[in-house]
């Protein structure tokens, strides 16, 4: 007797299992403008008449063409779209230089306390003592971690922090009557934001070559120094994943030449509690709260980039800054009467990120932050030890910091590129590492596991990477050049997108 | 240490694999004299409930918008955000994804950004919008730099109606100040800047509704700017206003920037917010920030990618249009979800409620002895002049639990002529009781 | 008669009786990959040898094009705005960038001829 004869089918039928999974779990979703309707709204609001209007002659006559969705339709649309994203919660996210660590949910819960979320930035100071307290407390943690005496809290992201630090350097030179200094030294391995920031402020960018071991050549820096050099922008640990052993010598040389040392703190996660940047002679360093202190990346922001400052630059910090008044905490909000170079944003900075970062710091404590740095570096070195049998690591003869850098030498002659390799990782269920950065290494693969990954996760990742590398060397080129096959979409035509840009949806007539 | 997966046995195994005896050895490359040899002078790790208690104690020292009548605007507005918005943005796939550099596994973020760009462009009546900026103030500064690139001219005329902190950001970004003409902050909303436009002018920048609440005739300004080959930059700090007033693009604006906080994002003591920027198609290559574009995949299926990246710092380095790297992804998502719930119908209704409540507030305040409403036109925010110092009055109201608006002197401390002015906003959350509480308290304070 | 000369930076100048044309070499277009945008100067602009005269962009790179000789722009290839792929398709022909009047004929002699350029890129 066949119980299932008239019942529900129990097999996969004729469709392959993969295809069914794809339809169910990897939906394709039309655009909001295709599912929505301009005659619909998902928010109940009373109709009010505005007969006695004060809008003058400025009332809108044109249509906005903005569709609305009911709440269930809206929920489904954005849930379905979300499923097309990879995320750190769902898998290892080894993007070098991005520090994709776990984002604790206590951070989110604390940021949403009405006492932080439902507070206006321009309320009377007496009514926001707790909010200013968060800023002051976070600033204190950052100063202790870096051994610095001041911190500018308002920069909105790392690049905004670079702007802040370099503006402080410019202001300090001008205050000394040395505004003629018009050169900023930037190592070739730097993030693109470094030269962009220097150029933004009118500085001439002069590159500094790296030594064969991937670190900056102190003699090259000394040779480039002159009375026209305003300072240097150096990332430490650098973008090759290496600690700059001569960093103090470089700082001393730059200072001796009358310049300042801007440190890009993107990689601070490697050295928390182990090295304090203030002890290295830095004058300014931004800290990406969304990297090191686990405020979420959110699909590309918001970030937060507070900048710690040396005693020499502290007077030039942007407004607002916190100071302790007689009746409580206060803001200095205006440049008058100070040496501040100005204001970088309306209000006081990324407060929602401050509450998250402070929550994270309190959770970890000083001991936990140091352990996190130790584990991040251990994880990277463990991967390095596993991968170096097959991958080519240009600076593999030394310990790395929190990220490990490979070049594409191991793929030579295979017909597989770094891009192909990355896309094949997608088919194995991983987000690729950072590719083609830093520029100083051919076909760069920059792998940063962070401290959030367990031993099992690291082993599984290393096994996959080694299996892929072996397959590439064995000549299984099609697996790479046709990848990804298991993602929501195949490779996208970026050339077509750039040649004929379509940047918004247009209703078909 | 709940966020760290390794056991000591794991660590020992890994150290052995690496071939070192301790974690310390991994830092051998750091010169010994640069190593921190003691523990950080910070508290040790703490359980969740301990951290929560600490943060709650700080939060409890703040007066929240829900604690009493609330009338502060001035660039950040207290609106209701539907519950589903906050639920959606906390989904792992939105919250914990990175910038969509690998488009095949980032279509959620990319399609959302394409929807965001379309919504922003439509709302502003412009041809293209970018994938967001840090906030309204930095977007305004970036718009000025963009106008200089487009026109290859230097002179910028900034209206006296611009939010004073936006003006200060612009002054800081244009550190040379060469060619920057900032008109003094002007509460009357009548002074014209048209006569200052000449053949060297790159752009005029005007906020509408302005800091003091006045609405401006953008068409006249656009005409005057275009007659001299200059651009019109329009700044909007209350995006809900565009539900009811004409889109800047329809009035001839060339670049429109805005603070998008009002949709989807809480007050949050000033950030993170979301900057909006839109322009004409022909200027797109001079626009800063990320852009998402439509394309197809290898099978011809529609998909989205980040595009025109050669404008950006990671490729152009010192020749980039801006040093901006991140956008405000999650805040942009909240904006887009909220606006897609509202739709044009909902946004218009919401704008009407805001305007109606502000009208009620203005009528009520006009009746208070010692108060004069300065605006002929406004959307949901306007300026009143008191018969006494505004800062002291606002503090006295705060002591009564009322957030009575912003004393202009907080942002313009050096201006005696502005010291009796308050800028107040009403939103859909403003009740009749709130208005009554304010007028009663003000009557007592001013008598 | 037609003469083609090349710079070290892979620009070419083709001189004919009717005037001179500047473009990038076939080798250069191949190195750059799919070209998505070409930024050209205004007609009438005067350049010194070595000045940046145009930018050729691929998806992931922006490459500056330098003036191989002192020159004044007399015409630009406006068709590239809509169809930058023409540089890939026919760099030496329909993918030309601009026509110029050469200010300093002697500088043409400082450039490489076909054979020398072939060695240069080998």
CB of A175 within 8 Å of a chain B CB? The answer is: no
Using the predicted structure, report yes or no on whether residue A2 has a pLDDT greater than 60: no
The tens digit of pLDDT for each residue in B357-393 reads 999 999 999 999 999 999 999 999 999 999 999 999 9
Contact (Cβ atoms closer than 8 angstroms) between residue A195 and residue A186: yes
Q: Specify if A81 maps to a domain.
A: no
Chain C residue numbers touching B309 (CB-CB < 8 A): 59-60
Rounded to the nearest angstrom, the minimum Cα separation between A299 and chain C is 21
Find, among A310, A353, A305, the residue nearest to A160 by Cα: A305
Answer yes or no: do A498 and C36 touch at CB < 8 A. Answer: yes
Phi first, then psi, for residue B278 (nearest 5°) are: -135, 155
Q: How far apart are CA A113 and CA A115, in angstroms?
A: 5
- In which residue are the tokens 């200013």 written? A132
CATH number where A436 lies: 3.90.1150.10
Using the predicted structure, report yes or no on whether residue B41 has a pLDDT greater than 80: yes
Residues A170 and A192 in one domain: yes
The tens digit of pLDDT for each residue in B98-150 reads 999 999 999 999 999 999 999 999 999 999 999 999 999 999 999 999 999 99
- B8 preceded by a cis bond (ω within 30 of 0): no
Phi first, then psi, for residue A102 (nearest 5°) are: -60, 140
Using the predicted structure, report yes or no on whether residue A496 has a pLDDT greater than 50: yes
Using the predicted structure, report yes or no on whether residue A4 has a pLDDT greater than 70: no
Whole-number pLDDT of residue B315: 66
* CA-only gyration radius of chain A, Å: 26
Using the predicted structure, report yes or no on whether residue A11 has a pLDDT greater than 50: no
Q: Specify if A42 maps to a domain.
A: no
Q: Specify if A266 maps to a domain.
A: yes
**Which of B249-258 are b and which e, b meaning 16 or more Cβ less than 10 Å from the residue's Cβ?**
bebbbbbbbb
Using the predicted structure, report yes or no on whether residue A5 has a pLDDT greater than 60: no
Contact (Cβ atoms closer than 8 angstroms) between residue B232 and residue B206: yes
Residues A333 and A217 in one domain: yes
Q: How far apart are CA C86 and CA C71, in angstroms?
A: 24
SS3 A277: helix
Q: Please give the ipTM for the structure prediction.
A: 0.97
A145, with CB counted inside 10 A (0-12, 13-18, 19+), is: buried
Residues A411 and A466 in one domain: yes
Beta strand pairing status for A260-264 and A284-286? Answer: parallel
The tens digit of pLDDT for each residue in A174-191 reads 999 999 999 999 998 788
Whole-number pLDDT of residue B189: 78
Cβ neighbours, 10 Å, residue C85:
16
CB of B285 within 8 Å of a chain A CB? The answer is: no
Whole-number pLDDT of residue B420: 97
Contact (Cβ atoms closer than 8 angstroms) between residue B246 and residue B166: no
3-state DSSP percent of chain C in helix, strand and coil, to 5: 25, 40, 40
Find, among A228, C36, A7, A298, the residue nearest to B108 by Cα: A298
Whole-number pLDDT of residue C2: 84
The tens digit of pLDDT for each residue in C63-97 reads 889 999 999 999 999 999 889 999 999 999 999 99
Q: How far apart are CA C28 and CA B209, in angstroms?
A: 52
Q: How far apart are CA B269 and CA B72, in angstroms?
A: 12
Q: How far apart are CA A494 and CA A487, in angstroms?
A: 17
**Secondary element (H or E) of residue A359:** helix A351-387
Answer yes or no: do C60 and B319 touch at CB < 8 A. Answer: no
- The parts of chain C modelled with pLDDT lower than 70 are 1
Q: Under 8 Å CB-to-CB from B2, ≥6 apart: which residues?
A: A363, B48
Whole-number pLDDT of residue A23: 63
Q: How far apart are CA C111 and CA C8, in angstroms?
A: 8
CB of C57 within 8 Å of a chain B CB? The answer is: yes
Residues A266 and A408 in one domain: no
The last residue of one of the domains, among A301, A333, A361, is A361
CB of C82 within 8 Å of a chain B CB? The answer is: no
- In which residue are the tokens 């693009």 written? B249
Residues A260 and A143 in one domain: yes
Concatenating the DSSP letter of every residue in B24-36 gives HHHTTTS-GGGB-
Q: How far apart are CA A145 and CA B178, in angstroms?
A: 40
Distance of CA A361 to the CA centre of its chain: 18
Band of residue A509 on the pLDDT scale cut at 50, 70, 90: low
Chain C residue numbers touching B316 (CB-CB < 8 A): 62
Residues A237 and A291 in one domain: yes
Q: How far apart are CA A122 and CA B302, in angstroms?
A: 45
CB of B190 within 8 Å of a chain C CB? The answer is: no
Q: What's the token pair of residue B162? A: 């611009």
The tens digit of pLDDT for each residue in A282-295 reads 999 999 999 999 99
Q: How far apart are CA A438 and CA A405, in angstroms?
A: 9
CB of C59 within 8 Å of a chain B CB? The answer is: yes
Q: Which domains does chain B have, with CATH numbers?
A: 66-81+344-446 (3.90.1150.10), 83-339 (3.40.640.10)
Whole-number pLDDT of residue B176: 65
Q: What's the token pair of residue B233? A: 């930059």
Find, among A194, A178, A196, A165, the residue nearest to A257 by Cα: A178
Q: Specify if A25 maps to a domain.
A: no
Residues A311 and A388 in one domain: no
* Beta-carbon contacts below 8 Å between A and C: 15
Q: What's the token pair of residue A450? A: 């962070």
Whole-number pLDDT of residue A9: 42
Answer yes or no: do B343 and A42 touch at CB < 8 A. Answer: yes
Judged by phi (left if over 0) then psi (alpha if -120 to 50, else beta), residue B343 lies in left
Q: Specify if A432 maps to a domain.
A: yes
Q: Specify if A148 maps to a domain.
A: yes
* CA-only gyration radius of chain C, Å: 13
Pick from A60, A334, A497: which is nearest to B305 by CB? A497
CB of C79 within 8 Å of a chain B CB? The answer is: no
The tens digit of pLDDT for each residue in B58-67 reads 999 999 999 9
In sequence order, the β-bridge partners of residue B302 are B296
Using the predicted structure, report yes or no on whether residue A16 has a pLDDT greater than 60: no
Mean pLDDT of A13-23: 46
Band of residue A439 on the pLDDT scale cut at 50, 70, 90: confident
CATH number where A274 lies: 3.40.640.10
Rounded to the nearest angstrom, the minimum Cα separation between B71 and chain A is 10
DSSP assignment letter at A389: T
Whole-number pLDDT of residue B326: 74
State which residues form the domain around A413: 373-495
A471, with CB counted inside 10 A (0-12, 13-18, 19+), is: middle
CB of B388 within 8 Å of a chain A CB? The answer is: no
The tens digit of pLDDT for each residue in B262-285 reads 999 999 999 999 999 999 999 999
Band of residue A12 on the pLDDT scale cut at 50, 70, 90: very low
Residues A238 and A305 in one domain: yes
Chain C residue numbers touching A499 (CB-CB < 8 A): 34, 36-37, 84-85
Chain C residue numbers touching A196 (CB-CB < 8 A): none
Q: What's the token pair of residue C81? A: 């705005």
Provide the chain B residues 72-101 that lie in CB contact (below 8 A) with chain A.
72, 74-76, 78, 82, 84, 86, 88-101
Residues A320 and A463 in one domain: no
Concatenating the DSSP letter of every residue in B137-171 gives HHHHHHHHHHHHHHH---EEEE-TTS-HHHHHHHH
Q: How far apart are CA A70 and CA A66, in angstroms?
A: 14
Mutate which of A434, A495, A497, A501 to test chain C, going by most C C-beta atoms within 10 A?
Answer: A495
- In which residue are the tokens 């998250």 written? A356
Mean pLDDT of A412-420: 96
Find, among A273, A301, A303, A299, the residue nearest to A286 by Cα: A303
Answer yes or no: do C62 and B285 touch at CB < 8 A. Answer: no
Q: Under 8 Å CB-to-CB from B423, ≥6 apart: which residues?
A: B73, B74, B211, B212, B213, B381, B382, B383, B405, B406, B408
Measured between CA atoms, the residue of chain A closest to residue C34 is A495
SS3 A187: strand
Whole-number pLDDT of residue A8: 45
Distances (CA, A) of B177 to A322, A347, B181, B196: 27, 22, 8, 17
Cβ neighbours, 10 Å, residue A456:
10
The tens digit of pLDDT for each residue in A72-122 reads 999 999 999 999 999 999 999 999 999 999 999 999 999 999 999 999 999
Q: At what angle do helices B8-18 and A351-387 cross, to 10 degrees?
A: 50
Residues A307 and A387 in one domain: no
Whole-number pLDDT of residue A75: 97
Using the predicted structure, report yes or no on whether residue B192 has a pLDDT greater than 90: no
Using the predicted structure, report yes or no on whether residue A22 has a pLDDT greater than 60: no
The total number of structural domains in chain A stands at 2
Architecture of domain C3-121: Beta Barrel (2.40)
Q: 0.90 exceeded by the pTM? A: yes
Using the predicted structure, report yes or no on whether residue A326 has a pLDDT greater than 80: yes
Find, among C77, C72, C74, C60, the residue nearest to C23 by Cα: C77
**Which of A307-316, A430-439, B106-115 has the lowest average pLDDT?**
A430-439
Long-range contacts of A23-26 (CB under 8 A, 24+ apart): A25/A83, A26/A83, A26/A84, A26/A488
Distances (CA, A) of A72 to A37, A39, A76, A304, B88: 14, 16, 6, 33, 12
Q: Specify if A69 maps to a domain.
A: no
Q: How far apart are CA A111 and CA B334, in angstroms?
A: 15
Using the predicted structure, report yes or no on whether residue A67 has a pLDDT greater than 70: yes
The last residue of one of the domains, among A306, A337, A361, is A361
Q: Under 8 Å CB-to-CB from B197, ≥6 apart: which residues?
A: B157, B204, B224, B225, B227, B228, B230
Band of residue A137 on the pLDDT scale cut at 50, 70, 90: very high
Band of residue A468 on the pLDDT scale cut at 50, 70, 90: very high
Phi first, then psi, for residue A184 (nearest 5°) are: -120, 130
Whole-number pLDDT of residue B323: 76
The tens digit of pLDDT for each residue in A473-485 reads 999 999 999 999 9
CB of B122 within 8 Å of a chain C CB? The answer is: no
Average confidence score pLDDT of chain A:
92
């Amino acid at each position: 007797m066949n119980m299932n004869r008239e019942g529900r089918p129990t097999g996969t039928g004729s469709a392959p299992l993969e295809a069914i999974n794809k339809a169910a779990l990897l939906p394709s979703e039309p655009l909001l403008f295709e599912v929505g309707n301009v005659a619909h709204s998902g928010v109940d609001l009373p109709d009010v008449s505005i007969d006695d209007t004060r809008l003058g002659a400025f009332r809108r006559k044109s249509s906005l063409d903005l569709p609305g969705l009911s709440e269930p339709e809206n929920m489904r649309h954005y849930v379905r779209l979300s499923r097309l994203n990879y995320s750190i919660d769902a898998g290892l996210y080894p993007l070098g230089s991005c520090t994709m660590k776990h984002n604790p949910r206590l951070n989110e819960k604390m940021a949403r306390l009405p006492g932080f979320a439902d507070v206006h930035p321009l309320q009377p100071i007496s009514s926001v003592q707790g909010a200013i307290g968060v800023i002051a407390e976070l600033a204190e943690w950052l100063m202790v971690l870096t051994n610095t005496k001041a911190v500018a809290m308002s920069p909105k992201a790392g690049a905004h922090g670079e702007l802040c630090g370099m503006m402080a350097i410019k202001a300090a030179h001008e205050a000394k009557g040395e505004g003629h200094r018009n050169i900023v030294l930037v190592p070739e391995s730097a993030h693109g934001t470094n030269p962009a920031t220097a150029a933004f402020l009118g500085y001439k960018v002069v590159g500094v070559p790296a030594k064969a071991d991937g670190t900056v050549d102190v003699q090259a820096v000394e040779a480039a120094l002159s009375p026209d050099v305003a300072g240097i922008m150096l990332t430490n640990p650098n973008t090759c994943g290496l600690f700059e052993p001569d960093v103090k010598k470089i700082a001393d040389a730059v200072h001796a030449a009358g310049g300042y040392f801007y440190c890009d703190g993107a990689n601070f996660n490697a050295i928390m509690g182990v090295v304090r940047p203030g002890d290295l002679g830095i004058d300014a360093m931004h800290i990406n709260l969304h990297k090191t202190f686990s405020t979420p990346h959110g699909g590309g922001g918001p970030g937060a980039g507070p900048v710690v400052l040396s005693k020499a630059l502290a007077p030039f910090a942007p407004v607002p800054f916190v100071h302790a008044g007689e009746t409580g905490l206060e803001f200095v909000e205006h440049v008058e009467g100070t040496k501040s170079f100005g204001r970088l944003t309306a209000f006081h900075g990324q407060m929602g990120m401050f509450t998250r970062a402070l929550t994270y710091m309190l959770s970890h404590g000083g001991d936990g932050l140091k352990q996190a740095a130790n584990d991040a570096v251990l994880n990277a070195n463990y991967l390095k030890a596993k991968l170096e049998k097959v991958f080519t690591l240009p600076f593999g003869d030394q310990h790395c910091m929190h990220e490990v850098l490979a070049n594409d030498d191991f793929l030579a002659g295979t017909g597989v590129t770094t891009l192909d390799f990355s896309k094949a990782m997608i088919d194995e269920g991983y987000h690729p590492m950072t590719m083609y950065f830093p520029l100083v290494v051919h076909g760069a693969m920059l792998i940063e596991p962070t401290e959030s990954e367990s031993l099992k996760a690291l082993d599984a990742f290393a096994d996959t990477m080694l299996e892929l590398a072996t397959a590439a060397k064995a000549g299984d080129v099609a697996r790479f050049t046709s990848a990804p096959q298991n993602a929501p979409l195949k490779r996208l035509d970026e050339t077509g997108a750039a040649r004929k840009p379509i940047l918004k949806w247009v209703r078909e007539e | 240490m709940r966020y760290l997966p390794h056991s000591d046995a794991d660590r020992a195994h890994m150290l052995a694999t690496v071939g070192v005896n301790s974690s310390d050895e991994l830092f051998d490359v750091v010169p010994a004299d640069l190593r921190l040899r003691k523990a950080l002078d910070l508290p040790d790790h703490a359980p969740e409930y301990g951290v929560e208690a600490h943060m709650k104690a700080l939060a409890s020292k703040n007066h929240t918008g829900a604690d009493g009548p609330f009338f502060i605007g001035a660039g950040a507005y207290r609106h209701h955000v539907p519950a589903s918005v906050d639920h959606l943005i906390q989904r792992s796939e939105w919250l914990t994804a990175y910038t969509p550099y690998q488009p095949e596994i980032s279509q959620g973020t990319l399609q959302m950004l394409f929807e965001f760009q379309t919504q922003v462009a439509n709302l502003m009546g412009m041809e293209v919008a970018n994938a967001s900026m840090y906030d309204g103030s930095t977007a305004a500064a970036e718009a000025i730099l963009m106008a200089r690139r487009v026109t290859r001219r230097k002179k910028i005329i900034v209206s006296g109606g611009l939010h004073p902190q936006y003006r200060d950001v612009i002054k800081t970004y244009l550190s040379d100040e060469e060619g920057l003409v900032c008109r003094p902050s002007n509460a009357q909303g009548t002074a014209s800047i048209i006569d200052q436009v000449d053949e060297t002018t790159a752009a005029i920048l005007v906020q509408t509704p302005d800091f003091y609440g006045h609405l401006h005739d953008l068409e006249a300004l656009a005409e005057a700017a275009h007659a001299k080959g200059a651009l019109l930059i329009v700044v909007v700090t209350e995006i809900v206003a565009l539900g009811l007033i004409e889109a800047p693009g329809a009035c001839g604006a060339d670049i429109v920037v805005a603070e998008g906080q009002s949709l989807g994002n809480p007050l949050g003591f000033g950030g993170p917010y979301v900057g909006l920027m839109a322009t004409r198609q022909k200027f797109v290559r001079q626009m800063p920030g990320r852009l998402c574009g439509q394309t197809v995949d290898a099978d011809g299926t529609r998909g989205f990618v980040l595009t025109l990246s050669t404008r950006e710092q990671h490729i152009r380095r010192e020749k980039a249009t801006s040093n901006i790297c991140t956008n405000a992804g999650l805040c942009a998502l909240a904006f887009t979800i909220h606006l897609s719930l509202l739709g044009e119908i909902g946004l218009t209704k919401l704008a009407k409620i805001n305007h109606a409540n502000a009208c009620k507030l203005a009528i009520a305040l006009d009746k208070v002895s010692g108060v004069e409403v300065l605006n002929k036109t406004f959307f949901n925010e306007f300026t009143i002049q008191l018969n006494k110092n505004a800062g002291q009055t606002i503090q006295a109201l705060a002591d009564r639990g009322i957030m009575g608006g912003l004393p202009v002197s907080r942002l313009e401390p050096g201006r005696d002529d502005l010291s009796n002015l308050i800028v107040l906003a009403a939103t859909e959350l403003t009740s009749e009781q709130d208005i009554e509480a304010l007028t009663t308290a003000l009557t007592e304070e001013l008598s | 008669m037609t003469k083609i000369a090349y710079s070290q930076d892979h620009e070419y100048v083709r001189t004919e009786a009717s005037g001179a044309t500047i473009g990038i070499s076939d080798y250069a277009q191949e190195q750059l990959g799919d070209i998505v945008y070409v930024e050209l100067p205004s007609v009438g602009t005067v350049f010194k040898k070595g000045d940046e005269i145009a930018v050729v962009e691929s998806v992931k790179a922006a490459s500056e094009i330098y003036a191989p000789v002192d020159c004044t722009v007399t015409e630009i290839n406006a068709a590239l705005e809509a169809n930058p792929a023409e540089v890939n398709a026919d760099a030496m022909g329909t993918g030309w960038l601009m026509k110029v009047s050469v200010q300093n004929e002697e500088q043409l002699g400082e450039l490489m001829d076909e054979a020398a350029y072939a060695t240069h890129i080998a």
